[in-house]
Amino acid sequence: MPPHVPRRVLITGVSNPLGAEVARRLAPQVPHLFGCDVADPLSALEAMDFVHADTRLSVIGKLVRQLRIDTVVHLAVMVDSPHDERSIHETDVIGTMNVLVGCSGPASPVRRLVVKSSQAIYGAGPHDPSFFSEEMINWDRPASGVTRDLLEMEQLVSEFALRSDACEVTVLRLGFRVSEDTSLARYLSLPIVPVFAGFDPRLQLLHEEDAAEAMVRATVADHHGAFNVAGEGVVLLSQAIALALAARAEDHRPRRTAGLPHRRPCVRFRHGLLEPRGRVRLEACPQLAPGYGLAGRGQERGAHRGAVAATGIRAAGLPAAAPPPHASPHSWRPRPFGARRGELIAETTPGQRRRNSQKAEIVAPRQGLRLPKPVRRLRRQAPMYALQAVSQLSDRLRQLTGRDIIDLNRIMEVVQFIYQQRELARRGPNYAVDDFGFDPQWTESFITAFKTLYRDYWRVETTGVEHVPSSGRALLVANHAGVLPWDGTMIKTAVFTEHPHPRHVRALVASQFMGMPVLSWFLRRTGQAVGHPDDTRRLLARDELVLVFPEGTRGTGKGFKNRYRLTRFGRGGFVATAIRAKAPIIPISVVGSEEIYPMIGDLGPVARLFGLPYFPVTPFWPWLGPLGMIPLPSKWRIQFHPPIDVSDLPAKAAEDQHLVMALADEVRETIQRGIYENLKLRRGVFL
């Protein structure tokens, strides 16, 4: 079957800003363009015929048949609206149902249907992975509000796609759009922006023009299925708030301008404001969501399956979509920041740019007391003078006592820690985190504190760290104990400080801890991820060192009488993940973590009340209150064993449960044997 070429296109919800932009971009590419909505469009478009029609009424089906519509772009979906739940349900569910009825039937002329959805369909919870692909929708999960309506709407679309083989169905799940009419803009424009105490959510932003371009590409080209459409990279909510507040402060700042009127104070959303690393690009995953009527389609159409691919829209492993016959291959290009709509900087002459330029603003100098120059110089050099005085005092005490009284190295580490915290406070929101929320610069600033625990408090002795590769992926597997995950912190510190090529280790933590205020924020910021197979796969694909604890909370929650006795390693899921990723498995034996919180009991009812896996009772907790959370200074030993190479195993070996369990038992026996050997080498619990 030849690819469908849209000729008579109907856009529902054309009066909203996204619908108006989609109509403007589609007008020169299709012969006949129609739009319908309950309200008048924002601006008149000569190439579009507008009809007052409500998708919540059955008249939409008559409109489709009378106008002989072959392509429907359904944008009358409320995914970001301040309306009440009843209005949203009627628009999203009832309205979509009427559109599907109008597109169905053997006599229907509709051959392509594009539906706008939202990433809100996935919901949010501590048990969810860090990323959602298109097939990760849980149709049976309890939901409310917009998420419930979106799930019901997409179920209707999925059933329609299964019934209608002649109609291609595309669903675009848009990320948080950056425009003035969205709830995100209204939220950031509040005089006092409320935040989630102890949490710092990650945002994937999408510019309004990029969302419109994705809709256009899905309309004019053959891309059927469900796709996530969001900007590249993430922005923390705290960064977005800080950038918005900075923009408002700049607008309120008094200025003396030459020939320019004062600007109105407002939050402006443009390329670069909430996207500190540049203009976002669309990234659509090539996986197709099951249940959208794609099974059994002809192989001749398989070459057209995949993500929305075009100039400026990135889709891994897919060629660019062929342009429609009514559009130029270069009809859309990324617009540079500062250029007018429809105008590129390279397309203007120097004379035009000079005529269109504006006079520079003259900013009034900052008022305040300015210290004399000698005082400012003394202020800058005071830390150096203080260190010189401490050095001279240390030399004098060494001459008098014959030993080091003041450790200059420790003092320099403290000074370095204070300096790093000062620099981090000055950077403001202009910093980058990876897609998991990891901030390497912020994490490395705490290495001094972790090294103090590692070297002085627990006096950790590490062996075999050379088995950790200097580059590339690896799966570190260790025993887990000690109520709180201090063993993971010490393993990360050992690799970063003892290895000849310092590397960050990304630990996987239980999902319960990702729902706790402050703790979840700290874990994300320092590079940890949810203990989910998808997170493990993504981290290994980035050639990271991933630390897993197969015992999980069973290890940290076992009693003191069962110390250093490994619990069951589950069903060997970590082995299957390592085989698929071709990552070596490095067993790690940790001795010393069992004694930092000797657990003599577990208050199960209290744990269930707070949603915790266990509520420990130690000789000091909860009797001494916060003081009972101070870990005991036990003697630690960490041993990195030689890696177990699984690179020669085929990917299908991950499905061989017998082989997987055999390798898991081998890893467990290696760790247990290392624990016994290191217990013999340790002179005592606290020695």
Contact 629, 674 (CB under 8 A): no
Comparison of pLDDT for 4 and 462, the residue scoring more: 462
pLDDT value at 336 more than 50: no
Q: What is the DSSP letter of 162?
A: H
- 14 and 37 Cβ atoms separated by less than 8 Å: yes
Query: For 3-19, what is the mean pLDDT?
Result: 91
Residue the block writes with tokens 């229907």: 108
Could you tell me the fold of the domain covering 458-681? Answer: Glycerol-3-phosphate (1)-acyltransferase (3.40.1130)
Preceding amide of 622 cis, omega within 30? yes
End-to-end CA distance of the chain: give it in Å, rounded: 78
* Average pLDDT, integer, range 303-329: 33
Q: Which CATH number fits domain 8-175+208-230+281-341: 3.40.50.720, 3.40.50.1370, 2.120.10.30, 3.40.50.300?
A: 3.40.50.720
Q: How confident is the model at residue 267 (pLDDT cuts 50, 70, 90)?
A: very low
The pair of three-digit structure tokens given for residue 173, joined into one six-digit string: 């799940």
Residue 362 has pLDDT above 70, yes or no: no
Three-class SS of 393-449 = HHHHHHHHHCCCCCCHHHHHHHHHHHHHHHHHHHCCCCCCCCCCCCCHHHHHCCHHH
Question: With contact defined as beta carbons under 8 Å apart, do 560 and 599 qualify?
Answer: yes
Asked whether 227 and 154 are in contact (CB, 8 A), the reply is: no
In 597-654, the DSSP E strands lie at 601-602, 616-617, 637-640
Please report which confidence band the pLDDT of residue 123 belongs to, taking 50, 70 and 90 as the band edges: confident
Q: What are the Cα distances from residue 396, in Å, to 393, 405, 409, 412, 535?
A: 5, 10, 17, 18, 55
358 — pLDDT class (breaks 50, 70, 90): low
- Measured CA to CA, the distance from residue 555 to residue 549 in angstroms comes to 9
Q: Are 151 and 171 in contact (CB under 8 A)?
A: no
Q: What are the φ/ψ torsions at residue 152 (nearest 5 degrees)?
A: -65, -40
Q: Label the pairing between strands 616-617 and 601-602.
A: antiparallel
Instruction: Report which DSSP code applies to 4.
Output: P
Predicted TM-score (pTM) of this structure: 0.78
Lowest mean pLDDT among 120-134, 380-394, 507-521, 664-678: 380-394
CA 513/CA 521 separation, integer angstroms: 10
With a cut of 70, say whether residue 80 has pLDDT above it.
yes
- pLDDT exceeds cutoff 90 at 493: yes
User: What number is the average pLDDT over the span 497-524?
Assistant: 91
| Residue % of the chain over a pLDDT of 90 | 46
CA dist 623 and 32 (Å) reads 77
- 152-171: average pLDDT: 92
Q: What is the predicted pLDDT for the residue at 126?
A: 81
pLDDT in tens, 195-219: 888 899 998 888 888 899 999 999 9
Residue 463: strand pairing partners = 639
Quick one: which H or E segment has residue 507? strand 505-509
CA–CA separation, 542 and 537 (whole Å): 9
- For the four alpha carbons of 118, 435, 128 and 188, in that order, the dihedral sign comes to negative
Per-residue model confidence as pLDDT tens digits over 30-79: 999 999 999 888 777 888 999 999 999 888 888 999 999 999 999 999 88
Q: List the structure tokens of 235.
A: 């922005």
> Which residue, 468, 475, 481, is CA-closest to 508?
475
List the one residue out of 284, 296, 282, 89 whose CA is nearest residue 171: 284
Judged on CB neighbours under 10 Å (0-12, 13-18, 19+), 74 is buried
Average of per-residue pLDDT across 73-97:
87
What is the residue-averaged pLDDT of the chain? Answer: 81
Give the Cα separation of 603 and 609 in Å (integer).
10
Residue pointed to by tokens 């009972």? 628
- Give the closest residue to 104 by CA, choosing from 52, 170, 156: 156
User: How far is C-alpha 264 from the geometric centre of its chain's CA atoms?
Assistant: 34
The string of pLDDT tens digits covering residues 541-599 is 999 999 999 999 899 999 999 999 999 898 889 999 999 999 999 999 999 999 999 99
Question: Using CA atoms, how far apart are residues 547 and 586, in angstroms rounded to an integer?
Answer: 9
Phi, psi of 230 (to 5 degrees): -155, 165
Determine which of 271-280, 417-426, 658-667 has the lowest per-residue pLDDT on average: 271-280
Show me where the domains of the chain are located. Answer: 8-175+208-230+281-341, 458-681
∠ CA 482-485-487, rounded to 5°: 80
Strand partners, 49: 34
Q: Do domains 8-175+208-230+281-341 and 458-681 have the same CATH topology?
A: no
Mean pLDDT over 113-134 rounds to 89
**What gap in Å lies between CA 297 and CA 302, rounded to an integer?**
8
Most confident by average pLDDT, 40-54, 403-417, 617-631:
617-631
pLDDT band at 677 (very low <50, low <70, confident <90, very high): very high
Answer yes or no: is pLDDT of 316 > 60.
Answer: no
With cut-offs at 50, 70 and 90, classify the pLDDT of residue 339.
very low
**Residue 407: how many CA atoms within 13 Å on its side-chain side?**
5
Q: What is the amino acid identity at position 26? A: L
pLDDT at 360: 54
Calpha distance 32→35 (Å, rounded): 10
Q: Give the pLDDT mean for 223-246.
A: 87
Residue 364 has pLDDT above 80, yes or no: no
**DSSP states along 173-228:** EE-EEESTTSHHHHHHTSSS----TT---EE-EEEHHHHHHHHHHHHHS---EEEE
Average pLDDT in the 225-230 region?
Answer: 90
